[in-house]
Amino acid sequence: MPRYPWTDGPEYITQCPIQPGSKFSQKIILSFEEGTLWWHAHSDWTRNTVHGAIIVYPKNGTKYPFPKPNAEIPIILGQWWKSDANVVRDEALATGADPNASDSLLINGQPGDLFPCSKSDTFKLTVDHGKTYLLRIINAALHEALFFSIAKHKMTVVGTDGSYTKPLTRDYITIYPGQTYDVLLEANQHPDHYYMAAKTYSIAPAARNFFDNTTTTAIVQYRGYYTPSSPLSLPYLPTYNDTNASVQVMAGLRSLADAEHPCNVPLNPSTKLIYTVGMNSYLCPNNSCAGPNGTRFSASINNISFQFPTIDILQAYYYNISGVYGDKFPSVPELVFDFTTDIIPLEYQTPKNGTEVRVLEYNSTVEIVFQGTNLIAGTHHPMHLHGYSFYVVGWGFGNFDKDKDPLHYNLVDPPLQSTISVPTKGWATIRFEASNPGMLQALM
């Protein structure tokens, strides 16, 4: 939020957690955003259920940069566990293992009619033939990147993360945790019932319970008098581990970059950072943990795993309290190797612990290259930057080449987003202007 850093962010960054039983009012300030955003709790896994949509309409006197839809419908994708999600989280923290996969995915709070418990309550979207509907899709799932599609219907992406895009028509989209997509659905098929469905994209083995391999459904039903097909057919969704399919929408996204929606991507960033992102592991006494080879899972950026301070970092900065955090977060990886090779030496897999920050000059222009690693297992990494939207100027597979890859950056009409997924065994580059003072955190 512009110039209001006090209550926006993960715990111990801009504020300490709100205590159970207490009351708290949050001030929300929007600036240039237009489209679909969302809000969620930011402590432990409470955000699994405490979340919702924020819709920003065109201001008075302006209109959508596409034909006005006949209706708008929020579609919130999520996960559901048979047990308390925070208990699942706490068990993972206690054992060091990957948390148990959710028991089902959700569309608007329901697993769908492939599950007997949800058959009567499956979300249904009633449409009229010939009309156009704006679906405001939010991936509120904790972990899962999702393929999403509607049987026999194409979707046209017109916005993401509160910013409009050039129209991009696809049979399916891939939406990562934290992302939003605005898509137009034309009800142009023969009146019937059609499944909309979502399933996980993951490169983990399907049989190991590392991810939710269920399919969630809802129904698009045309208004009228007819006998619906039975059974309904599922829409085309890529194979769960199809990495090339997972980047097809990302590859095609472009901002409008017109007079009403200018593209102000920094052309000559003053600060250039390279951050490796990956899954690491810590050794445990007698190999007693439940992670790989008796270790404990941990995530890291530039091989530093964040250690929570005792008070929030913004408070320490504002009151000049020393000893809470350091300001020596490295601008580039301290250890350089082939980040995406299939075999990485074990000594590279243990991260440092630290509460380190990178201080940015006010109004500096910043480029961050997020480099995925294959330390424990190569996977995608959704990255979100609090306090900013950013331009995604480039991405690719393999190791980032500082000499060759910038030659192919899109500096004309890159998409403006607040969450980007670093491709599996790949990299992504973002740029932004550091004009919103405060403590922000890059989340993965």
Task: Kindly report the CATH number assigned to the domain that includes residue 140.
Answer: 2.60.40.420
421 and 315 within one domain: yes
338 and 247 within one domain: no
- Asked, for residue 264, whether it belongs to a domain, the answer is no
- Asked, for residue 396, whether it belongs to a domain, the answer is yes
- Asked, for residue 353, whether it belongs to a domain, the answer is yes
Q: Please state the rounded mean pLDDT for residues 392-412.
A: 98
| Backbone phi, psi, residue 13, to 5° | -100, -65
288 and 429 within one domain: yes
- Asked, for residue 158, whether it belongs to a domain, the answer is yes
240 and 186 within one domain: yes
- Asked, for residue 54, whether it belongs to a domain, the answer is no
Torsion sign over Cα 45, 162, 175, 389 = negative
Residue 376's region, left for phi above 0, alpha for psi from -120 to 50, else beta, is alpha
295 and 237 within one domain: no
Determine the structural domain holding residue 124 and report its residue range: 67-252
279 and 205 within one domain: no
Block residue for tokens 């929408």: 249
What count of Cα atoms within 13 Å lies in the side-chain half-sphere of residue 369?
23
Out of 24-33, 265-274, 335-344, 435-444, the most confident range is: 265-274
Q: Please state the rounded mean pLDDT for residues 136-165.
A: 97
pLDDT at position 9 over 80: no
User: In this structure, what token pair is assigned to residue 232?
Assistant: 């309904």
- What pLDDT is stored for residue 27 in this prediction? 82
301 and 248 within one domain: no
Q: Nearest to residue 107, comparing CAs of 82, 144, 70, 133?
A: 144
- Asked, for residue 230, whether it belongs to a domain, the answer is yes
Model confidence over 24-46: pLDDT tens digits? 888 888 888 999 999 998 888 99
pLDDT at position 444 over 70: no
* Residues 6 or more apart whose Cβ sits within 8 Å of residue 147: 172, 173, 174, 198, 199, 200, 201, 237, 238, 245, 246
DSSP 19-58: PTT---------SS--EEEEEE--STTGGGTSEEEEEEPP
- What pLDDT is stored for residue 275 in this prediction? 97
Residue 91 CA, chain-centre distance (Å), reads 24
| Residue 3: strand pairing partners | none
Residue 196 near residue 141 (C-beta atoms within 8 A): no
pLDDT at position 8 over 80: no
pLDDT at position 146 over 90: yes
> Residue 275's CB: how many other CB atoms inside 10 A?
23
Q: Please state the rounded mean pLDDT for residues 206-228.
A: 91
pTM over 0.85: yes
* Residues 6 or more apart whose Cβ sits within 8 Å of residue 7: 14, 15, 26, 27
- Asked, for residue 42, whether it belongs to a domain, the answer is no
Model confidence at 15, pLDDT cuts 50, 70, 90, reads: confident
Q: How many domains does the chain have?
A: 2
Pairing assessment for the beta strands 215-222 and 193-201 based on DSSP bridges: antiparallel
Q: Please state the rounded mean pLDDT for residues 49-55.
A: 95
Choosing from 252, 280, 303, the residue where a domain stops is 252
222 and 293 within one domain: no
- What pLDDT is stored for residue 439 in this prediction? 82
166 and 131 within one domain: yes
Write down the mean pLDDT value for the chain. Answer: 93
Model confidence over 332-360: pLDDT tens digits? 999 899 999 988 877 788 899 999 999 99
User: In this structure, what token pair is assigned to residue 237?
Assistant: 């969704």
Residue 359 near residue 328 (C-beta atoms within 8 A): no
275 and 246 within one domain: no
- What pLDDT is stored for residue 443 in this prediction? 63
77 and 116 within one domain: yes
295 and 248 within one domain: no
- Asked, for residue 13, whether it belongs to a domain, the answer is no
Residue 106 near residue 78 (C-beta atoms within 8 A): yes
